[in-house]
Structure formats: structure tokens, C-alpha cells
Structure 1
């Protein structure tokens, strides 16, 4: 077997674990099946990961990083703030529709971690990363577009995590993109109620839907 840098070998095994877990489920995926999926010996697996906890952390990180890169690539400055943010949400939504198995795996990983003694911090870290990503993306938008938040940024980030998390699960369960789109529209209207222009003037529904679905208001 050709020698490979340990970081590259870990990446290879992580990708194999994601494929195996997506296909077979977390509980039924063993270190032996992951090694077989990657085409390496079991000893190589144990050399790269000293525990299942370390493997799951690597899997969660890899999946989360992929989601972040999808949205980040889509959130590039466009003609309007509305178009910029909508592109980010659309990119994520398209990813859910195209890779339902991987997104289902994230929920399974969360539940598995919460049920296993000593693994709970992996689930907490997973959702902390989600909230941190929303926070970072909103802060980056502040650098290019002036806006004010009506609610604290950390609270808004956690709220966005809860909304997208629930909506993603709804799509995975029902498999109805039209129904999911209607729910997203309703959620958008709800978030629009958080948006005010400077001075406390409520933002119009049309403008609110464009301005970040995230409860922000553009400065005049």
C-alpha cells in the first residue's frame, strides 16, 4: 500500500465514513466497514483515529465545512442585498434537495451523540458551528453593506439555525419541495416582522423579504 500523509489518510477515511454512514446509518457502521470502504486495513484506521469519538468529530466537521463552503460561494456581492442573501439560501436549499442522505446523516449524528455518554459535546459543537457561521456571514455582510440589527446578533444567528434546521427536516420527511417553499415564505414573513428602518418604521413586506430573511434593516 502506498504511503500517504496522515492528514490525507484521515480525510480519506472521513469521506469513507460519510459514505458508509449515509448508506447504512451511524449505528450500523463499524470501523471495519469504514476501513473496507476506504480500501485500507483496520490497523490504518486505528492509526489515524484513536477513538470513535474522534472519527465522529471529523465527520461532523467535514459535513459542516461543506455546507458552509456551498453557502459562502453563493453569497457574493450582487446587485442588491436581497439577491445576495437569497442566493445563499437557495444554494443551501439546492444542496439539501440534491444530497438528502447527507443532510439526514447530520440529524442521525446529532441524536447518536446525544444518546452516547461522553459524546454530547459533539452535538453541541455541531450547533455552535452553525450559529457561528451565521454570525460570521452576517458580520461579513456588514463590511460591504451598512445595516442595523433589531435583535442581538447571537440571538438572530441561533434563530436562523433553528429555522433552517426545522425546515430541512421538514423537507427530508415530506419530500415536498413546494410545501417546503411555502413554509419558507411563511418564515420569511415572520422574520420580516423583526425588520424596521432607522427610527422604528416597519419595513415593507417586499423589502423585508429581500433584506436578508434574517431580520436586518438597511441604513438610509
Structure 2
């Protein structure tokens, strides 16, 4: 693994990921998630059949198309990326998560501009999975590492949110992160070979939690 990937996965990366719970706060307040077992079940379910699987499967395709756009700076390649942006964004049923994806994507693309890795025309109105893939192209990170990193970062952010919502403790969180590694690796290898447009997901509960978060009387995390 390249050290650049560790920088991308760092919780100090200034993209605002720490301020979102992606529905976990609603699940905790409604006692759907209340301990380390139910928390891990939630994480395992999303890694196995959540919408994140489509995004992770798209990473390798996005890296190829972004590299083509960067090399040729032709409008046809830009249109391909815009189509990905529209399609991936539309898969997120919750407007709260769509807003999150836009904010995090723009923040990472701005950071890459500041690090001398701009997209053509300094484009930055793209969502999170595309920004993540572009970072992989810029930093010359392998596709499998980028897919694993995408899934790992999502788990780490969920555990970070759980530390503020549950009586969990950092040691138990680290145990859960370690417990997730086998599934992350197997899913990354599987998703790398899949066509993202042929993947079916079944995470209605997650969608409902994400949409309901904004209705909470009080919130720690952004909607």
C-alpha cells in the first residue's frame, strides 16, 4: 500500500466526513443500533448489499475514464464523467446523502487543486466517488487499493460517528474495524470485477434512516 493512500484515508483529511452519520444517528435514537453487535450488523449489511457497493464497483471505471479525460481534455471524455456523476448521484435516494456526496466531492477536488492535481478546467462540481477515483489517478494508487480504501474509510467514519452516539469506547471500535477487514478485502476483490450498472442493492432500511435523520428533534450530525 502506498503512503499516499494513508493520507487519503486519514481522518484529518479536510473534506468534512466526520460531520455525517449517514443515518446512523437516527438508528441509534430509535434503538435499532444500540451496542457493538447491532452496530457491526449495520456495517456488515451496508458493505454486503448497500449503495456503497455500487460506488465502490465504479471506482476502477471512473479511474480509467478520468485518466482519459485528463490525457485528452476532450469534451467527449468530460461528458462521460458528467454522465457518471449524474448516474451515481441519482442512485442515492436521500437528498441529505446526495448533498453530502456533493460537499465531500467538491472539498476533495479543491484539496487536489491545492496539491497541484487539478482536473481539466479545474473542475470540482463532482461527487465523492469521482473525486476519490481522481485522487487515485493523481497519486498513482492501484485500483484494488482505492476500492479497499473507499470501503475502509466508510467503515472508519461510521465507527467515528458511533463513538459519539453510543457507549462504545475506542478499543471496541478498533476491534470492530479489525473485524470488518476480511469483508472489506473480499468485497473489494469481488466489486473490482463487477459491472456497477448490474449490481442490485437491498438497503431500504438505510435509505429510510438517512431520509429520517433531518426530522430528528436534535442532531449531532449534519443532514
TM-score, with length taken from structure 2: 0.32
Q: Which has the higher contact order (CA 8 A, sep 6+)?
A: 2
Larger radius of gyration: 1
